[in-house]
């Protein structure tokens, strides 16, 4: 173990989806830093970069093919269609886990600081199996994105999901960790949650996130909400327990209303009105539909898992 970590082979996994505007600059910047680490004897000369094209509809893949001629250590995976960021990332991690001592995942927009990769490798050499890249602050985010992100971490923690605060998918994982990750076969992927369940020694490096230089973010509000909901329903049954708690509260409340109705009939001689009928009916009906929707979400996940369809399909490989 010690000899392997003195000069490890490091692979850098970069998922790409319609990144034609930035992919050339990204590969140039990452290659320059990677070569610098090689010259400083921090990593092995066999270290490499892997671009995973997640079904891009622009010129991302042709540009990767052209860059391959210039950079011999560049490798590529082209997925047959868009399978989503998490599946594209998994394709790179699973495809190259046996060819490196550790793999570092980073987004193609390079908003994450590539210079902390050196510190990640240093922490890996010290014995850490997982090294998380964590943002120091969110001053480059818009007000709306900052509020929704903080709300996401607060809410998902309330739901019982263990996440590293302000960490996305910028991390180093050792071969040992990735071999254990292969045992997770779920279709509904939420890698940020999975990595925290693996155990193993962990370390953290902190950095300032940059603004995006070119292109645009592929994460709309709808995708961010869907991603958050995926994480909650994949790692927590708290929503189901909340349904049971809500049912208990409504049941106790109905007992109180029944007692009040009996009291009103005998003591107040009151005749029940229209409002006292329809308001509880609408309220209980809404709760029932909401509860059925949450249960249906979990049933849908079970349905997807039982089909055991492939999480990604590789159409072409550059190696």
Tens digits of residue pLDDT in 218-233? 555 566 666 666 666 6
**3 state SS of 168:** strand
Any domain includes 228:
no
Strand partners, 171: 105, 132
Number of domains in the chain: 2
Any domain includes 231:
no
**Does 267 lie in the same domain as 133?**
no
End-to-end CA distance of the chain: 27
**Does 20 lie in the same domain as 123?**
yes
Smallest CA-to-CA distance from 102 within 48, 33, 168 is with: 48
**Does 267 lie in the same domain as 200?**
no
Helix residue spans in the chain (DSSP H):
2-6, 23-39, 60-70, 85-96, 117-125, 143-158, 175-181, 191-197, 221-235, 238-263, 274-307
Model confidence at 47, pLDDT cuts 50, 70, 90, reads very high
**3 state SS of 64:** helix
Q: What is the pTM of this model?
A: 0.73
**Does 273 lie in the same domain as 188?**
no
**3 state SS of 75:** strand
Residue 57: give the domain boundaries.
2-220+314-318
**Does 256 lie in the same domain as 204?**
no
Whether the predicted pLDDT of 276 surpasses 70 = no
Arithmetic mean of pLDDT over the chain:
80
Any domain includes 280:
yes
More confident residue, 71 or 192: 71
| 255-261 own/partner pairs: CB under 8 Å, 24+ apart | none
**Does 104 lie in the same domain as 246?**
no
Any domain includes 226:
no
**Does 159 lie in the same domain as 22?**
yes
**Does 257 lie in the same domain as 139?**
no
**3 state SS of 206:** strand
Any domain includes 230:
no
Give the span between the Cα atoms of 124 and 202, in whole angstroms.
9
pLDDT of residue 43: 92
Give the span between the Cα atoms of 144 and 131, in whole angstroms.
29
Q: Span 299-313, mean pLDDT?
A: 75
pLDDT of residue 1: 41
Any domain includes 295:
yes
pLDDT of residue 123: 94
Order of strands across the sheet that contains 167-174: 202-207, 130-135, 167-174, 102-105, 10-16, 48-53, 74-79, 314-318
**Does 258 lie in the same domain as 122?**
no
- Pull the structure tokens for residue 192: 């940020």
Give buried/exposed letters for 28-44 (b at 16+ CB in 10 A, else e).
Answer: eebbeebeebbeeebbb
**Does 9 lie in the same domain as 135?**
yes
Determine the distance from the C-alpha atom of residue 247 to the mean position of all C-alpha atoms in its chain, rounded to a whole number: 32
Q: Span 128-144, mean pLDDT?
A: 79
Q: What angle do CA 49, 231, 245 make, to 5 degrees?
A: 170
Give the span between the Cα atoms of 41 and 119, in whole angstroms.
14
Q: Span 211-215, mean pLDDT?
A: 61
**Does 254 lie in the same domain as 207?**
no
Residue 192 is part of a domain; what is its CATH number? 3.90.550.10
CB atoms closer than 10 angstroms to residue 136: 11
Any domain includes 168:
yes
User: Are residues 59 and 20 in contact, defined by beta-carbon separation less than 8 angstroms?
Assistant: yes
Any domain includes 229:
no
Look-up: residue for tokens 């050499």?
Answer: 125
**Does 215 lie in the same domain as 256?**
no
């Amino acid at each position: 173990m010690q000899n392997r970590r003195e000069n490890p082979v490091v692979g850098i996994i970069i998922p790409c989806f319609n990144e034609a505007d930035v992919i050339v600059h990204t590969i140039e910047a990452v290659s320059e830093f990677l070569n610098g680490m090689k010259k400083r004897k921090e990593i092995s000369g066999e270290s490499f970069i892997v671009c995973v094209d997640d079904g891009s509809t622009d010129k991302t893949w042709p540009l990767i093919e052209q860059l391959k001629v210039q950079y011999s250590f560049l490798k590529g995976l082209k997925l047959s269609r868009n399978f989503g960021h998490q599946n594209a990332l998994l394709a790179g991690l699973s495809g190259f886990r046996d060819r490196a001592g550790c793999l570092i995942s980073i987004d193609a927009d390079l908003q994450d600081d590539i210079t902390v990769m050196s510190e990640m490798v240093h922490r890996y050499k010290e014995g850490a199996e997982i090294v998380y890249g964590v943002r120091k602050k969110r001053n480059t985010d818009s007000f709306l994105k900052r509020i929704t992100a903080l709300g996401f971490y607060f809410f998902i923690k309330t739901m019982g999901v263990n996440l590293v605060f302000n960490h996305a998918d910028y991390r180093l994982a050792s071969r040992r960790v990735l071999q254990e990750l292969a045992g997770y076969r779920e279709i509904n992927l939420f890698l940020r949650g999975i990595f925290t369940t693996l155990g193993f020694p962990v370390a953290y490096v902190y950095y300032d996130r940059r603004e995006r230089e070119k292109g645009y973010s592929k994460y709309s509000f709808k995708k961010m909400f869907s991603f958050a909901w995926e994480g909650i329903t994949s790692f927590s049954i708290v929503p189901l327990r909340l349904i049971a708690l809500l049912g208990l509260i409504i049941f106790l409340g109905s007992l109180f209303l029944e007692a009040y109705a009996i009291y009103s009939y005998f003591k107040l001689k009151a005749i029940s009105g229209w409002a006292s009928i329809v308001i509880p009916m609408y309220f209980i009906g809404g709760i029932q539909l909401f509860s059925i929707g949450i249960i249906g979400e979990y049933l849908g996940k079970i349905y997807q898992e039982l089909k055991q369809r492939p999480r990604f399909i590789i159409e072409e490989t550059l190696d």
